Amino acid sequence: MLTVHHLENSRSQRVLWLLEELGLPYEVRHHARDPQTMLAPPALLQIHPLGKSPVLTDDAAGLTVAETGAIVEYLLDACPGSPLRPAPGTPDFLRYRYWLHFAEGSAMPPLLLKLVFDKVASAPMPFFVRPVARGIAAKVLDSFVNPNLVRQLAFMEAELASRPWFTGEHFTAADVMMSFPLEASAQRAGLTAASHPALHQWLQTIHARPAWQRALARGGPYAFA
């Protein structure tokens, strides 16, 4: 049996969605964030040394697989010929591989930096430290983080303006991987129907997929829905 160690409001929602798209049976083991720190609970350290989610355990193979992209590839390897991964050597496969890695390699780092520095700017602190800390946070956001987010969103908008899915004409697991950074961008980086109509429509389309809806029901509360 496949078991997903699922952390609320996290990247692991994508693993549930992919499993639903593939029609594979699985179980969900829910893990709640610490209400004060919003970090993953210590129980995840018993599953993987880094104590993060998602983690997939495959009882039949006796394996534990971590990292969303690695889990996606592992599940697709278990379903050879799936339309969610284009045939190797095709133009669609090259785009698929690019966007599969872009999701975590390029899209997520500036979003994480924005989250961190936004928290620095709003965190309670002694009054004599506040101007310095907030000034540093504003400088980093204005000079580095926000310009990168603007550039990335413009790039992705242009890509989806010419085709319905990141790989091309067909939905693939690359779209599953891209869902979290774009959902996060809609929450934190100014992605709206007015500013990025193609990206907004893409989000509306994936959220209407039956498999996405089933995954949401299995996973529980998800702030990015």
Cα–Cα distance for residue pair 65/48, rounded to 1 Å: 9
pLDDT of residue 127: 63
CA angle 95, 201, 159 (to 5 degrees): 30
Q: What is the mean pLDDT of residues 55-73?
A: 96
CA-based torsion, 162, 164, 167, 170: positive or negative? negative
Return the bridge partners of 63, or none. 58
120 within 8 A of 135, measured Cβ to Cβ: no
Cα–Cα distance for residue pair 24/73, rounded to 1 Å: 14
pLDDT of residue 123: 65
* Neighbour count for residue 163 (Cβ, 10 Å): 13
Cα–Cα distance for residue pair 168/44, rounded to 1 Å: 37
Task: Quote the pTM value.
Answer: 0.92
Q: What is the mean pLDDT of residues 74-92?
A: 96
* pLDDT tens digits for range 160-205: 999 999 999 999 999 999 999 999 999 989 999 999 999 999 999 9
Q: How far apart are the first and last CA of the chain?
A: 28
**Predicted confidence band of residue 48 (pLDDT cuts 50, 70, 90):** very high
**Predicted confidence band of residue 140 (pLDDT cuts 50, 70, 90):** confident
Domains of the chain in start order, with CATH, are: 2-84+214-219 (3.40.30.10), 91-209 (1.20.1050.10)
**Predicted confidence band of residue 38 (pLDDT cuts 50, 70, 90):** confident
Q: What's the whole-number average pLDDT of the chain?
A: 92
- Tell me what percent of the residues of the chain surpass a pLDDT of 90: 76
- Which residues, at least 6 apart from 68, have a Cβ–Cβ distance to it below 8 Å? 11, 12, 14, 15, 54, 104, 177, 180
Cα–Cα distance for residue pair 119/38, rounded to 1 Å: 12
Please tell me which residue, 14 or 137, carries the higher pLDDT value: 14
**Predicted confidence band of residue 36 (pLDDT cuts 50, 70, 90):** confident
pLDDT of residue 58: 97
Q: What is the mean pLDDT of residues 109-114?
A: 94
Cα–Cα distance for residue pair 44/3, rounded to 1 Å: 13
Q: Tell which residue, 122, 98, 111, has the closest CA to residue 183.
A: 111
